[in-house]
């Protein structure tokens, strides 16, 4: 992460922390690198002086701190200390060394499929913890993801929404970064964990292509594309494209859950790292179905995993669909089939499988030809004798 010298107007001490460098500045305030008496380094955020008297901004800042306190574990920076009643409210989180995902891609270009899948798996697992705390980040994007030596970390919960909190924006006003916002945010509709899934999908597309899946342009143009146009995923590896496209579904109900997203990305990361062909083991999803824990946002797999319906149907005890039943004889399934026999395979009185139909036809043809030759030979001999 790039650091800058402190400016003349910057404080040198905030609370129990001494400030050393500037880490960045945003719409709410400035982030500094600081340390306490024990040498523990923190990222300390101080609200801007001109906003300190604005009650709306104080409320937003308090909500950011409240959201950070509610999250346990996951890929987030741990809250260390805060003072919401100070003249310039501030809070400090654990310092995360490493560049942002945005900077890494800008400097080195698109990441490999295995790296994108690995980062995505860790982030989606972290979002599980965030959402379990009743928090939706609402501004997940490449610049808010830091790539530390211990794995990626999600930062900046400045516009996070917590369960029970009132919104600080008017209906129809989008809060976040164009190109990474979900359609429901643009419309001013309620945000849900699926909102962060959309943003994560756009972020992983950026990491794969080195560009936004909705191109470039003014905020109005970008927001229109997010709502009305499909994402452009040319350049996204084939192993990731179907899953990322599912994350970018316009309808939140059509997106995968963060838990399922984490599981799928881990599978993809393992395969890509070993150079294995794309294949999806059925066990995790079917176990969730049997437990009744499959959520509506996990429906996308039934479209993106062709050929799996017979296995899913068998797991539910319904048997395969008519269009997918295997048939070795070309005929319909025998209604007299005994339980336990394979669909499409007819049983015999001896319990043995019937001969290959093609072989039977070949034998029949040979028999007919031989019979005709013999008959013609007999007829010809009788004619000569007469």
Q: What gap in Å lies between CA 71 and CA 73, rounded to an integer?
A: 7
- CA angle, 146 as apex, 141 and 152 as ends, to 5°? 100
Tell whether residue 45 is among the known ligand binding residues.
yes
Its sign, for the CA torsion 155, 161, 64, 182, is positive
Selected catalytic residue, list 139, 156, 196, 304: 139
Q: What is the largest CA-CA distance in the chain?
A: 130
* Cβ-contact 162, 70 below 8 angstroms: yes
Q: What is the separation of C-alpha 267 from the centre of its chain, rounded to a whole number of angstroms? A: 12
Let me know if 139 is a catalytic residue: yes
Q: How far apart are CA 167 and CA 149, in angstroms?
A: 35
What distance in Å separates the CA atoms of residue 25 and residue 242, rounded to the nearest whole number? Answer: 36
Residues 6+ apart with CB under 8 A from 228: none
Residue 283 neighbours by CB under 8 Å, 6+ apart: none
Q: Catalytic amino acids? A: 139
Residues marked as binding for ATP? 45
């Amino acid at each position: 992460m790039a650091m800058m010298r402190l400016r003349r107007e910057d404080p040198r001490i905030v609370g129990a922390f001494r400030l050393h460098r500037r880490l960045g500045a945003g719409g709410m305030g400035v982030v500094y690198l600081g340390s306490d008496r024990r040498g523990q380094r923190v990222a300390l955020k101080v609200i801007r002086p001109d906003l300190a008297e604005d009650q709306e901004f104080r409320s937003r800042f308090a909500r950011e701190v409240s959201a950070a306190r509610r999250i346990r574990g996951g890929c987030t920076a741990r809250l260390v200390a805060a003072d919401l009643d100070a003249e310039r409210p501030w809070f400090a989180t654990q310092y995360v060394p490493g560049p942002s995902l945005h900077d890494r891609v800008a400097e080195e270009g698109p990441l490999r499929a295995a790296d994108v899948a690995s980062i995505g798996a860790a982030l989606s697992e972290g979002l599980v913890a965030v959402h379990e705390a009743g928090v939706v980040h609402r501004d997940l994007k490449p610049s808010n993801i830091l790539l530390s030596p211990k794995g990626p970390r999600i930062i900046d919960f400045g516009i996070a929404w917590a369960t029970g909190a009132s919104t600080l924006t008017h209906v129809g006003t989008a809060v976040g970064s164009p190109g990474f916002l979900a359609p429901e945010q643009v419309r001013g509709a309620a945000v849900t964990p699926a909102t962060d899934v959309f943003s994560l999908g756009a972020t992983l597309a950026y990491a794969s292509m080195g560009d936004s899946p909705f191109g470039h342009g003014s905020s109005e143009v970008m927001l229109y594309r997010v709502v009305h146009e499909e994402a452009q995923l040319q350049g996204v590896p084939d192993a990731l494209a179907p899953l990322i496209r599912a994350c970018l579904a316009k309808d939140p109900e059509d997106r995968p859950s963060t838990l399922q997203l984490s599981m799928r990305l881990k599978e993809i990361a393992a395969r890509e790292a070993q150079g294995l062909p794309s294949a999806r083991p059925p066990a995790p999803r079917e176990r969730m179905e049997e437990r009744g824990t499959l959520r509506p946002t996990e429906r996308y797999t039934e479209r993106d995993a062709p050929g799996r319906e017979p296995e899913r149907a068998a797991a539910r005890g319904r048997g395969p669909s008519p269009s997918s039943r295997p048939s070795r004889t070309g005929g319909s399934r025998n209604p007299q089939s005994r339980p336990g026999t394979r669909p499409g395979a007819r049983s015999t009185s001896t319990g043995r499988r019937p001969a290959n139909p093609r072989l039977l036809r070949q034998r029949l043809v040979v028999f007919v030809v031989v019979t005709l030759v013999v008959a013609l030979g007999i007829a010809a001999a009788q004619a000569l004798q007469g």
